[in-house]
Chain A
Amino acid sequence: MNAASLPLLQNALTVGAILFSLGLVGILTRRNLIVMFLAAEMMLQGISVSLVAWSRYHGDFGGHVLVIFVLTVAACEAAVALVFVLQAFSRTGRLDAAAWQSLREATVGRTIDRELPAIDTVPPRFPTLTPAGVQPATDADDSLEREHV
């Protein structure tokens, strides 16, 4: 039994390792707090895959149980973390991990991004529809509407 499922184990573990590594790279690299959390969740996915692979290999439910708990904790973590992300956003106005540099040494200057070339954003071309009915009155809140993501 075990000898036969070793290849499966190894492949699955490899997949898990790749997911974990990708998640690690993502956390270290991306500056958007949400993307960082996505990458963290990805690491947890990698862990889940590995645990289930081991569980399958051993014929045991131990890995499954652990994954369930991982799932639970991930959910709690996401909830609390996102609250904090929103608090951070309300203080700085952006979801940038690099907005928080107060822990730096007194003699080190604030790290400021270099100027990036502007992107020519092509405004989306929405299909034009024949007008039907009355154009609704737009109020100030509509200015929050984004044109593109």
Chain B
Amino acid sequence: MNNQSLSSLLALVPLLPLVGAVATVLLGRRLGRAAHIPAVAGIAAAAVVAVVLLGVTARDVGGTHGPVETISTLWQWATVEGAAADAPGADAAATRGLSIPVAVRLDPLTATLLTIITCVGLLVAIYSTGYMHGDPGYPRFFALVAMFVFSMSMLVMASNFLLVYVFWEAVGACSYLLIGFWFTKPEAAKAAKKAFLVNRVGDFGLAVATFLIWMSFGTLDFHDTLSAQGVIVPGVLGQTRLADPGGYVLPDAAGFSGAAVGTAICLLLLLAACGKSAQLPLHVWLPDAMEGPTPASALIHAATMVTAGIYLVARTAPLFVAHPGALTLVSIVGATTALVAALIGTVQNDLKRVLAYSTISQLGYMFASLGTGTLLGFTAAIFHLLTHACFKALLFLGAGSVMHSMGGVIDMRRFGGLRRVMPITAATFLVGAAALAGVAPFAGFFSKDEILAALHAKGWPDAHGTHADHDDATPTDGRAAAGRPLRFAALREPADDALALVTPRADGRERGVPLDAIDTPATWRLLFWMSLVTAGLTAFYTFRAVFMTFTGPTRLPEGAGHGHGHDDDAHADAHAHSDHGGGHGQHHGHGDHGHGSLESPPAMTLPLVVLAVASAGIGWLLFATNWLGHFLAATPSLTAAAVARTAVPHVFHWDLAIQGTLAAVVGIVVAAIGHLGRRSDGPQMERFLGPLGTLFAEKFYVDQLYAWCVVRPLELLAAVAAIFDRTVIDGTVDAVGGIPGAIGEVLRRSQSGLLQRYALAGVLGVLSIVVLLAWQLRG
């Protein structure tokens, strides 16, 4: 395939959903019940193209040896001449000015994410045709979903930091619109606002990081570009800089050491990622985001948008690797978030909330893996992203199916034993839960195992495995090492100089920032144990949810089977359709599925099945062939010397597998003891845990902390500003407005009605003119 057609295909991926979105906006009302067609068609076509592109990239990876990327500049958005003249890190070639090309790229990381986005998007769109059926905002939903797919595709395809920022904001906006889809409900509106505002904090981080990157690197492009003088301008993640061993050693600028600036950039990028991917302390928006329609939650808050943070860190891997303090902090944040979210998830009674906290927890896992800074860590994170997309979307869609059938009720204490009335949903949900819990051989098991391996490698750098199968040559080429077929061996020692991730200064002094001190094996061991505990907790709360929902005596809430109660995220005493009563029995609005069956329509169950198959098989498939690791190792960002050096042969770590499975089994057993076969409204975890349970249920009081530290002061400031506005500003304006009146009041007194006063005024006026004339004519 030549470059021209490849560029066209690249442009098609975002363009088709965009066309679908616009068509839905324009024609949605007229299409009525068929309003989903443009959006679904657009996303489906984009999915096809994405898969084609995946194939093309895979072929390129197989064909060539080095990094694989294709850049296609669609058009030049803006150029500011001479803007880079003062940038401290800029060289002469960059003094051409600030240039923002709308450039899209295709490399293995992008291709993988595009496939996930479009395929999961397609499944969610198909599912939504059943779920959102009958909703008055039906066309709007599909327009938003298509718009989201467009924004997210462009985000992962953008080859320029400013463009990334634009689409970062765009996905935030789509998220806001989708969370607040039923905006007439006050909780939904508040949740949307909260999501947007918390994301804004992250966006601020990304903006400032962009500024610093501009200042340090002199360009905002990922790829190498050609200046007007014909000189190569090395992009931030371009091949020139990646090949240069000191490429990410930033010069000292403005009184700050280069390492400090670099660490600042990394921390700001981490802040952005935390905002978008709901990590501590910016995780507060994701549970509330469950107010939105469940398909939106599945797409955005499980599979795609929240992975933007992971993508960002993976993309800027070389930069992070050059600043080990920031890198370790990534892992610390991730692992801590994973643990905290898992603890909170154990006491949730709302099925969607359980899944929300589970998402936060799994994203924490991905960050923990990214923060190891090794090739294994990065690829494990992306692998987990892929599997997580499959099983989390599956779980959310399954929860949506349950909610749809239960008439809008999603509080697990109000229903139970649903496997008898919703068999397909139950089966697929079980598959997803097993994948999430890390039960072999489902998808989550393999990806979680790789993450634990990455953490273990950092915590025990000299570990030898019990099996004596060592490889002969120390791998120096990440791709070559990663391309070897699967070996069943214990953990291997990584390359010796893989730990020397930072180039020391020429004068021999250690360069770095004090934060780098946290990068010690002790830290990594702690993180490893935290992750292991979290794995156990994950299994526990997942299967607790499964048992509460699908096992035990079959109980249905009032209004079950009436299907369309979307706007009721049930609280303990909310009655969605109390007027329906019990007289309607089990009648389902979509046609008869048999007496007693509340299964969702095929439009909804089909995507569930597809995702279940994926969750079951994809992990084993990718792990056995190591296709994904080999594929991703060709991403330019991951071919940086510092990252590629850390490649290890692809092995299956028995010891870690056993530890992980043990943790999962313990969790499942404890859940079974508490909930298997019992009524779901029995004694709850909160009460069982006592004060700890209250702590978890109150989400560690983070929301309250924010309310006291952020919201109250801002409200106070707003009140002060309001008073200032009313008294000073309005006062000034009113005073200015009152001036003519005041002048008029004064002048009006001259209109006394007294004839002689009028005459006097006239005479004085005439005399003034006369005097003036006499003065002029005196010469």
Query: What residues of chain A have their CB less than 8 Å away from a CB belonging to chain B?
Result: 24, 27-29, 31, 97-98, 100-105, 107-108, 110-111
Contacts and interface: CB of A to CB of B under 8 A. Distances in A.
Contact of B763 (A28, A101, A104, A105): A28
Contacts of A28: 756, 759-760, 763
20 contacts: A24-B763, A28-B763, A31-B756, A97-B755, A97-B756, A98-B754, A98-B756, A100-B753, A100-B755, A101-B754, A102-B753, A104-B752, A104-B754, A105-B751, A105-B753, A108-B748, A108-B752, A108-B753, A110-B753, A111-B754
A31 B759 CA distance: 13
A101 B749 CA distance: 13
Contacts of B753: 100-105, 108, 110-111
Contacts of B763: 24, 28
Contacts of B745: 107
B743 to A, nearest CB: 14
Which secondary structure dominates where chain B touches chain A?
Answer: helix
A78 to B, nearest CB: 18
Contacts, number: 41
B748 A107 contact: yes
B752 A27 contact: no
B344 to A, nearest CB: 70
A116 B272 CA distance: 87
- Shortest 8 CB-CB distances between A and B: which pairs? A104-B753, A101-B753, A105-B751, A103-B753, A105-B748, A28-B760, A104-B752, A111-B752
A3 to B, nearest CB: 23
Nearest to B761: A28
A105 B760 CA distance: 18
Given A105-B748, A108-B748, A110-B753, 6 more contacts: A24-B763, A98-B756, A100-B753, A105-B751, A105-B753, A107-B745
B748 A27 contact: no
Interface residues of B, number: 12
Contacts of B752: 101, 104, 108, 111
Contacts of B760: 28
B756 A27 contact: yes
A108 B751 contact: yes
Contact of A97 (B748, B749, B751, B754): B754
Nearest to B751: A105
Interface string B456-467: 000000000000
B747 to A, nearest CB: 10
B643 to A, nearest CB: 84
Q: Which of B745, B753, B760 has the most CB of A within 10 A?
A: B753
A28 B760 CA distance: 6
Contacts of A24: 763
Interface string B293-320: 0000000000000000000000000000
Interface string B726-759: 0000000000000000000100110111111001
A29 B759 CA distance: 10
A103 B755 CA distance: 9
Nearest to A33: B755
A97 B763 CA distance: 18
Contacts of A107: 745, 748
Contacts of B751: 103-105, 108
A97 B760 CA distance: 14
